[in-house]
Structure 1
Amino acid sequence: MSNRVFYYDALRAISIIGIVFCHVGIFFLSQGVNNPYFPVTAFFDCFREFSIPIFVMLSGALLINRRESLTKFFKKRLSRLLIPFFFWVLIYIAYSVVFIDHGFNLKNAVDIFFGTSGTLGVLFWFIWMIVICYLGIFAINKIIEYGSKNWQNFDKKFILALIILSVIYIALSEFGLFDPYSSKPLYFISFMTYIVIGYFIANNDYLGDKLSSKVVVVLALIVSIALYSYYVFGFVVPQSLLNNHFAYKSYFNLLILVLSVSVFVFFKYLSKTKYLEAIEQNNLGSALTLISKYSYGIYLCHYVVIFSLKRNFTRFFLDMNFIISIPFMVICSLVISLVILWALDKIPVLNKFSGIN
């Protein structure tokens, strides 16, 4: 019997879809902010603003407060993370050699490996961030394990302290008093804020003690829609037009934090109603579970799929109305990625590289 939590699957699936929308959106953003379809492009591209935080929050929900040895923790986590990653790095390097650089370039290969901006492997920054966050999660778990032996309710008090520090950290970043982007290691470590917040939301039910699940769902939905609409049409679009380049906020921003939390809360409390249970039992639920299972593999392979579609069908997608072409390109990218990963998963040895969860 599966021990999967469906609302986690739903969040993970929506997050990876949001990331694909972002990377497809970047292609259309290259047409410039003065393009008449720019507001549509910005709407789709900005899905990343809550997708990346939710991905990270799910890691916290699943991994914090676990009792595992160093060997078990990292053997289990890093093998699943790095083995598919190394495979896809080689694919990206080979693709770059054949179709972009038309020859091997050592610097470009290294840049792809480390997820350097401006290369085909730009998305691989996320892998290194997760590796660093795993170190942070393990340290938090060991502190909780030690503290719980000596003090009552230490885990709850410690996590609450980390939550307060995380919100303060994000506030300091928003008001320019601290810069998480001053170095890559600091930027990666900064995502620990979302790790602890994800654990806290998933494992506490303060709202449920005071309000019915339906009320929380409605409130969370209203907040999510209002904040996202304001962010896209009240900040991104006008600021981009004003400055003549795409403008967006950092992940370490109170608006992005509240938006990400409200989306997470929406799905958590929707799972306590009959509506999400009904979705889980139908075709939509099966699709979300499938996408969730392959979400890591989709993350690793989708960018080269998008690049291939762009390289071969640029005019086809750009000549369409962007309201249609962006979702259509996302669907194509997801379907092709899933087919590739499904095929890998059926082949001995190569199934290690599918990234199935």
Structure 2
Amino acid sequence: MAKNSFTAGMDTARIGACFMVIVLHVAAVNFNVFDDQWWASNFYDSLTRSCVPVFLMISGVLLLNKQESLPVFFSKRFARVLPPLLFWSLFYMAWNTLQGEHYGSLYDWVKKLASGPVVFHLWYLYAILGIYLFVPFLRSIWLAASPSEKKLFLALWMLASAWPVIRSVFGIDLDLPETYALGSFVGLIGYLFLGAYVFEVYQNIFSKNRYWWANAGLFIGFSVVIMTATFMYSSHAGTPDTLFYDYLSPLVMGASICIFNVLYGLGDKLRPHSNLLNRLSACTLGIYCLHIFVLQRIEDWTGLLKSSASSWWAIPSMAVFVFAISLATILLLRRFRLFLHIT
């Protein structure tokens, strides 16, 4: 029963984070211009900024408590990421070529693949490859650390990673991570450690229902503060500014902790539907890779996000359409064994 609860929780968190990514990218279309559509973009963007951190926190829960040899670890992880990275990069490059973009010779194609994402959202697959290289060492730290050492690690990571945002907001003329060589604690890798810690805390909560509602309320609070701070900072700058959207900003860190607990707890409530959740969860990588293509095609055909329609309903409607079409496509592809390795 406990295992089913854990699996349903992880699956729900993964599905929720995947849908949040789509909402975020749909909302971002109209973010860069202050007009009557901007507030809706700011609202939905602020609400979904914790999507990537949740993905990383899930990885932390699943990976840091395991003990396995390096060959086994790397063979499993890289076999999961490299095929999708290569396939979807080539897919987008082929599509761009049909649209008139030229990449040159075979060497140029290989160089392009090696140098970075062909389409912006594939940055996550490149980043996760680098993160996996550090996981065996982070795992050793996690397994050997005492509760107080885990808290100290997270405190230093949060301070060092969030410092650029804090420095910009308060105009502090001090590069704290550089001055005190805190670079070891900076970066997205800390979200894996945070995920494992937040999950550990969740397991020891007696009144999980009350804890769930508290986290739901705090998540809404963090999202409202992110939205308000983004408006105030952007107004001061005279142009939309994404400073408070940064995945390593303290507000996004707080929101990520809360929504992780909410999604995991929701999975426990949805446990009777665990088979469906597991099937949907298996599609999330493919949905993530495909959704930008679907979004661009729907927007080209309908012009919904650039029309006079209210973004308050256009953004969630578009997100649902994109998610549904991407999901249906990936479910179809996964019926063929070949595509199981790239979706």
After TM superposition, the structure 1 = structure 2 runs for residues 9-48 of structure 1, keeping only pairs within 5 Å, are 9-29=11-31, 32-33=33-34, 35-48=35-48
Match of 1:5 in 2: 7
2:317 pairs with 318, 322, 328, which one?
328
Distance in 2 between the 1:164 and 1:340 partners?
A: 42
1:329–1:222 distance in 2 versus 1, CA, 3 Å:
same
Find the counterpart in structure 1 of residue 229 from structure 2: 235
Q: Say if 2:64 and 2:196, in contact at 8 Å, map to a contact too.
A: yes
**Could you list the per-position Cα deviations for residues 287-327 of structure 1 after superposition, in whole angstroms to 9, with x for gaps in the alignment?**
65444221111111111211222233225862422122212
Q: Is 1:198 the counterpart of 2:195 in the alignment?
A: yes
SS in 2 for 1:318: coil
The aligned length equals 327
The equivalent of 1:183 in structure 2 is none
Q: Which structure 2 residue ranges, 5 or more long, are not aligned?
A: 168-173, 178-182
CA drift of 1:69 comes to 0.9
What do the CA deviations read for 1:195-225 (whole angstroms, capped 9, x no partner)?
A: 101001112348615xx22221222121111
1:140 counterpart residue number: 138
Amino acid at match of 1:258: G
8 Å Cα contact 1:93-1:109 kept in structure 2: no
Structure 2 counterpart of 1:303, one-letter code = I
Instruction: Tell me the secondary structure at the aligned position of residue 208 of structure 1.
Output: coil
Aligned counterpart in structure 1 of residue 295 of structure 2, from 299, 306, 315 = 306
Verify the 8 A CA contact 2:64 2:142 in the aligned structure 1. Answer: no
1:349 counterpart SS class: helix
Q: Secondary structure at the match of 1:251?
A: coil
Whichever residue aligns with residue 295 of structure 1, its letter is T
Match of 1:122 in 2: 120
**1:198–1:228 CA distance, 2 compared to 1 (3 A):** same
- Using a 3 Å threshold, how does the CA distance of structure 1 residues 338 and 216 change in structure 2: closer, same or farther? same
Of residues 255-264 and 165-174 in structure 1, the stretch that sits farther from structure 2 once superposed is: 165-174
- Unaligned runs of at least 5 residues, structure 1: 148-153, 181-185
What does the per-residue CA deviation read over 1:252-292, in whole Å, with 9 as the maximum and x for residues that have no partner? 22211111112222344556xxxx42x3435xx77654442
Which amino acid counterpart does residue 17 of structure 2 have in structure 1?
Answer: S
Identity fraction in percent: 20
Report whether the alignment pairs 1:348 with 2:337.
yes
**1:216–1:269 contact (8 Å) kept in structure 2:** no
Report which stretch shifted further, 217-226 or 245-254: 245-254
CA positional deviation for 1:155: 5.7
Post-superposition Cα deviations, 1:96-123, rounded to whole Å, max 9, x if no partner, equal 111252x34566885566445xxx5111
What's 2:180 paired with? Answer: none
- The alignment yields a C-alpha RMSD, in angstroms, of 3.1
1:223 and 2:218 are equivalent in the alignment: yes
Distance 1:297 1:108 in 2: 22
- Aligned-partner Cα distance in 1 for 2:151–2:190: 12
Q: What residue identity is the alignment partner of 2:153? A: L
1:164-184 Cα offsets, whole Å, 9 max, x none, are 32233234343335599xxxx
Give 1:196's aligned amino acid: F
Q: Which amino acid aligns with 2:240?
A: F
**Corresponding residue of 1:91:** 91
TM-score, length basis structure 1: 0.80
Q: Which is bigger in relative contact order (C-alpha 8 A, separation at least 6)?
A: 2
Of residues 160-169 and 250-259 in structure 1, the stretch that sits farther from structure 2 once superposed is: 160-169
Find the aligned partners of 2:62 and 2:135 in 1 and give their Cα distance.
10
3-state SS of 2:205 partner: helix
In structure 2, relative to structure 1, the CA distance for the partners of 1:238 and 1:173 (3 Å cut) is: closer
Q: Which residue of structure 1 aligns with residue 171 of structure 2? A: none
Contact 1:25–1:42 (CA under 8 A) maintained in structure 2: yes
1:265 to 242, 246, 261: 261
SS of corresponding position for 2:239:
coil
Does the residue aligned with 1:247 lie in a helix, a strand or coil? coil
Q: Distance in 1 between matches of 2:251 and 2:94?
A: 40
Structure 2 CA distance for aligned equivalents of residues 336 and 235 of structure 1: 34
Distance 1:312 1:110, change over 3 A: farther
Contact 2:40–2:312 (8 Å) recurs in 1 = yes
The equivalent residue for 1:150 is none
Distance of aligned partners of 1:192 and 1:104 in 2 relative to their CA distance in 1, 3 Å threshold: closer
TM-score (norm 2): 0.83
Amino acid at match of 1:55: F
